[in-house]
Amino acid sequence: MVSVSRSFQRLVFILSAGIFAVLGLGFGLGQFGFFGVHAGGEEDGAYHQMHVYAEVLKRIQSDYVTPPDIGNVTTGALHGLLESLDADSSYLTAAEYKIYKDRPSSGVAQIGLTVSKRFGYATIVSVVPGSPADKEHLSDGDVIESIGDQSTRELSLAVIRLLLEGKPGTAVALSVVRPRKPDPDKVTLTRTISDTPALNEQQYNNSTILYLKPGVLSTSRVDEIAAKLKSAGKNHKVLLDLRDCSAGDAAEGLRLANFFINQGTLATLEGQKFSTQTFAADSSRFITAAPLAVLVNRGTYGAAELTADAIEGAKRGDVVGERTFGEGSVQKTIELPDGGALLLTVAKFEGPDGKKIQDDAVTPTVQVGQASEDDLEGVTPSPKEDEPLNKALELLKAKNG
């Protein structure tokens, strides 16, 4: 009979606590796919799975070819458990959670990337213009295979984001896999504190089309857009460029949509143990009924997706470009007995059509392929070089003001 040490028993207990924290939020589902736990037998199924986990850990400890580090085995199991749910759910060890809690709220230097996880690895969602990442020609869709000597496949999204930031002037080494290149590129970037890109405003078609590219959807930036819309006058059509807009708060994304929509549902936020919230258009925030087009691409993420989805769902304007990234969820922090924590997705946003943005993203009403990096270089896009922009302008020109 295999003997089990006290330390091993503690590890099984920690693993159990993590699993039950997830299952505690999962019992309302008809089926919890990772465990095959079905409604009506959830608790029996969960206890059975804990016996299976304990047996697996015992066999690893007693029969593996070399004595294993059971702590690492347990950590790996918890990482896999959370990542099987979605990219935003993460397990943090006690050491990682301490760093996560103690990270400064200001003065943190970045390399100019928004990242998520796709297919197990860190994936670049968008790149800040003029940032260290931009200067190294990193682009959305590139995969970060490793940070330093750590594979991103073995890191939670929360830890990946922590590793990319740091003190100004410090360096971070990345191994980056680019589309159509067989070997990863090794790049070293210096972290900097960068200013938020300014609102890009242009006029097209003899100043009858107001082009606005926010870059971020912060409160101040959405306020800027409101001021521009109010001062534009009734004869202006609006082209809202949300490509590579990946920073911002969900509330600001919905407020921006409300500027163009005077009634109806903008979005819904719900989860099995999360009180459903319905976000309806507020007529007092409505600004303009001018003809509208919205540009999106795979770097349109989070708050900007809420804006685009609400406008598309209300049939308020054409959404032009590529399918967006697919991010729209809320996480809850659950502390564990060993000092670690779970960052667990507890609710997801749905658009007016009832589809979850996290799962389905936003599919444009008019799909136009991504322009090349060279075509989009520079502050002001040119219709001759930028096919999605050209298509959006064509659609707006055909509409009556």
Give the H or E element holding residue 220: helix 219-232
Where do runs of H (alpha helix) occur along 299-373?
303-313, 357-360
CATH number at residue 134: 2.30.42.10
- Is 335 domain-assigned? no
CA atoms of 155 and 228, how far apart (whole Å) = 42
Query: Is residue 159 domain-shared with residue 129, that is, in the same domain?
Result: yes
Query: Is residue 148 domain-shared with residue 259, that is, in the same domain?
Result: no
- Is 119 domain-assigned? yes
- Is 123 domain-assigned? yes
Strands 90-92 and 341-350: antiparallel
Cβ within 8 Å of residue 225, ≥6 positions away: 199, 212, 214, 256, 259
Query: Is residue 275 domain-shared with residue 303, that is, in the same domain?
Result: yes
Query: Is residue 133 domain-shared with residue 60, that is, in the same domain?
Result: no
Query: Is residue 184 domain-shared with residue 281, that is, in the same domain?
Result: no
- Is 110 domain-assigned? yes
Per-residue pLDDT of the chain (401 residues; tens, 9 = 90+): 444 454 444 454 455 555 545 445 444 333 333 334 344 455 566 667 777 877 887 888 888 888 888 777 778 888 888 888 888 898 888 999 998 888 877 778 899 999 998 888 999 998 988 899 999 999 888 999 999 999 998 888 999 999 999 889 999 999 999 887 888 899 999 999 888 889 999 999 888 999 999 999 999 999 999 999 998 877 789 999 999 999 999 999 999 999 999 999 999 999 988 889 999 999 999 999 999 999 999 999 999 999 999 999 999 999 999 999 999 999 999 999 989 899 999 999 999 989 999 889 999 999 987 644 444 444 455 555 889 999 999 999 988 76
CA atoms of 360 and 381, how far apart (whole Å) = 29
Query: Is residue 379 domain-shared with residue 245, that is, in the same domain?
Result: yes
Which pLDDT does position 104 carry in this prediction?
79
Strands 318-321 and 366-367: parallel
Domain boundary among 28, 55, 85: 85
Which pLDDT does position 344 carry in this prediction?
93
Cβ within 8 Å of residue 387, ≥6 positions away: 368, 369, 371, 375
Domain enclosing residue 62, as ranges: 6-85
Which pLDDT does position 379 carry in this prediction?
46
- Is 240 domain-assigned? yes
DSSP class of 188: E
Cβ within 8 Å of residue 68, ≥6 positions away: 60, 61
Nearest to 43 by CA among 29, 23, 13, 25: 23
Domain boundary among 40, 62, 85: 85
CA atoms of 366 and 294, how far apart (whole Å) = 10
- Is 339 domain-assigned? no
Domain tally, the chain = 3
Query: Is residue 364 domain-shared with residue 215, that is, in the same domain?
Result: yes
- Is 362 domain-assigned? yes
Nearest to 212 by CA among 233, 195, 196, 232: 232
Per-residue CA distances from 110 to 59, 87, 115 (Å): 44, 21, 12
Query: Is residue 26 domain-shared with residue 173, that is, in the same domain?
Result: no
Which pLDDT does position 40 carry in this prediction?
47
Angle, in degrees to the nearest 10, between helices 42-63 and 70-83: 140
- Is 122 domain-assigned? yes
- What pairs with residue 248 in β-bridges? 217
Tracing tokens 């707006």 back to the chain, one arrives at: 396
Angle, in degrees to the nearest 10, between helices 6-24 and 42-63: 150
